[in-house]
Chains A and B, each alone.
Chain A
Amino acid sequence: EADIYQTPRYLVIGTGKKITLECSQTMGHDKMYWYQQDPGMELHLIHYSYGVNSTEKGDLSSESTVSRIRTEHFPLTLESARPSHTSQYLCASSEVGDTEAFFGQGTRLTVV
């Protein structure tokens, strides 16, 4: 079944650690996104990609980086985690030119 997967679902990590949040989709979509969502707040776009070797920064300034080496894979990396990075991170994908985005289950990150 076509889907979009995020791992891990929950992560508690110490300040200063490097972490990578994984996102994979089997829907054949070219466009992928990372959003950050705090409780009761809107989703903020932090990175997106139109396809392999394409990465763009979103509207929310972020200290994270992304890569798109394969169509189905769009990992997000924090080189040095800080408590201010505590949030829920949502990955999504869509067809290029089609704005219906499909979301993964999210990764809830806590930095202590």
Chain B
Amino acid sequence: QKEVEQDPGPLSVPEGAIVSLNCTYSNSAFQYFMWYRQYSRKGPELLMYTYSSGNKEDGRFTAQVDKSSKYISLFIRDSQPSDSATYLCAMSAPVGDDKIIFGKGTRLHILP
């Protein structure tokens, strides 16, 4: 079993819809959870960063962490064509074994 599982998609939704992206993980030591956005032929850029459980909101983006279920989500409200990209979840354990483990990424297409 991979440490981080993420559905690669592609996921196509109409403009304005709410998008839900998810990852599951197996390592209960993970405490730091991140979402990266990667446009075609570019490097990933950090979108959201969450420590431990709970929700974090930034504009149209909301990150949720459910450590009891080992499940994290990224919600995008009022989706725009410019949100079309690959979204990668990433996570790591506290200092001592702090390598960042990435999911495969989900390709998202927002249809105008």
Contact = CB atoms under 8 A, between A and B. Distances in A.
A85 B78 CA distance: 40
Interface size range on A against B:
20 to 34
B43 A42 contact: no
Contacts, number: 50
A21 interface: no
Interface size range on B against A:
20 to 34
A35 B99 CA distance: 12
A5 to B, nearest CB: 11
Contacts of B95: 97
Nearest to A104: B43
A72 B74 CA distance: 33
Interface of A: 6, 33, 35, 40-43, 45, 48, 58-59, 90, 92, 97, 99-106, 108
10 tightest A-B contacts by CB?
Answer: A103-B43, A43-B102, A99-B92, A42-B104, A99-B32, A105-B43, A42-B102, A106-B43, A103-B44, A104-B43
